[in-house]
Amino acid sequence: MFEKISTIEKEVIDKLQDINTTKELNDIKVAYLGKKGLINDLSSIMSTLEVSEKKEFGKKLNEFKAKITSMINAKQQSIDEEELNARLIEEDIDITLPATKIKVGSIHPIQRIINEIEDLFISMGYDVVEGPEVEQDLYNFEKLNLPKGHPARDSQDSFYITEEMLLRTQTSPVQARTMENNKEKGPIRIICPGKTYRRDNDDATHSHQFTQIEGLVVGENISLADLKGTLEQFARKMFGENREIRFRPSFFPFTEPSIEVDVSCFKCGGKGCSVCKQTGWIEILGSGMVHPHVLENCGYDAQKYTGFAFGIGPERVAMLKYGINDIRQFYTNDLRFLNDFNRIEGGNSNEAK
């Protein structure tokens, strides 16, 4: 019997030497240590032994089992190490291979202008709000003092969806919505950037879809001087520190008085050049004092409150600032144009290629 144990031990040692996978090791484990394995077979001999032999054999058998178990465990550890080394070699990455170039987009020129204008007005304490692009006639026109049949509606040829719904032709309806939603009917200071739509034929200066930034300030004692100071800040931030602005009378149904704002030419400094058509001034936006009808239409007491409003065209600002002469370039997404623009701006190093 004791011989049998040493034979089996030798056998296991030999077998362990020959193998090098976990699967083979598991087979050995089952064959020797398993329920129906050889070592359990040996235990069954016990019942045939004398009491005196039983004790010694039992002890020997336990030691043997422990020995085999630890041999198998040691082998498992060395197989694991080898398998890991093999995998590390196999999965080695060749860092000399050229990497795949990842194309990253960049901020659209119009969005850059909007971001810049937002930053300026946020620094002056304005909130940035949004309104719906599919708008009611009520807000786009009626509350802004443009009742049905008003001739000024003709200048904003509209995409109507139903008789009462249209794609907004301007961001001005957000003025009406903001005043109406302000339950306390207290002071307001907002800008609203967004897309606007008009049924124009696209050409170098017209696009059926474009952007606007609306501004609205309402409060007690708000005056034209406040409007002028605010727009001066805007002109200087966008067109340079030395810019002056001037007001010209104009007409918008929702402002009284209405004002067209010019900025002194940033190219020639006011002497006259091709950019300012020799006048020294460039028209940049429309504005005015909020018409009392508009305040009243939106629940404000026009005796107590006054306000000013303005509408900026980011496309126009971008065209002037960067010398772009065709508005369609912003919307045809020609990467050559967008990348040129990125270079002008110092762009983003990951610009699209």
Interacting residues toward ligand DAH by CB under 6 A:
170, 172, 214, 252, 255, 286-288, 309-311
Residue at shortest CB range from ligand DAH: 311
Tell the smallest beta-carbon distance from residue 227 to ligand DAH (Å): 9
Tell the smallest beta-carbon distance from residue 183 to ligand DAH (Å): 23
Burial letters 13-34, b for 16+ CB under 10 A, else e: eebbeeeeeeeebeebbeebbe
Residue 64 or residue 310: which is nearer to ligand DAH going by CB?
310
Residue 32 or residue 252: which is nearer to ligand DAH going by CB?
252
| Contact assessment for residue 33 and residue 68, using Cβ atoms and an 8 Å cutoff | yes
Tell the smallest beta-carbon distance from residue 288 to ligand DAH (Å): 5
- The CA-CA-CA angle for residues 109, 112, 115, to 5°, reads 155
Residue 192 or residue 338: which is nearer to ligand DAH going by CB?
192
Burial letters 290-315, b for 16+ CB under 10 A, else e: bbbbbbebbebeeeebbbbbbbbbbb
Residue 121 or residue 310: which is nearer to ligand DAH going by CB?
310
SS3 205: coil
Tell the smallest beta-carbon distance from residue 311 to ligand DAH (Å): 3
Residue 265 or residue 285: which is nearer to ligand DAH going by CB?
285
Residue 197 or residue 239: which is nearer to ligand DAH going by CB?
197
Residues 6 or more apart whose CB falls under 8 angstroms from that of 37 comprise 30, 31
Tell the smallest beta-carbon distance from residue 351 to ligand DAH (Å): 32
**Hey, how many other C-beta atoms are within 10 angstroms of the C-beta on 194?**
18
Nearest to 185 by CA among 309, 298, 308: 298
**CA distance linking residue 336 with residue 217, whole number of Å:** 40
Residue 150 or residue 271: which is nearer to ligand DAH going by CB?
150
Tell the smallest beta-carbon distance from residue 339 to ligand DAH (Å): 31
**CA distance linking residue 169 with residue 190, whole number of Å:** 19
Residue 305 or residue 310: which is nearer to ligand DAH going by CB?
310
**CA distance linking residue 248 with residue 238, whole number of Å:** 20
Is the bond into 98 cis (omega within 30 degrees of 0)?
no
Tell the smallest beta-carbon distance from residue 290 to ligand DAH (Å): 8
**CA distance linking residue 241 with residue 232, whole number of Å:** 10
Distances (CA, A) of 283 to 45, 91, 226, 279, 287: 110, 65, 20, 11, 12
Nearest to 312 by CA among 120, 106, 107, 138: 120
Tell the smallest beta-carbon distance from residue 134 to ligand DAH (Å): 17
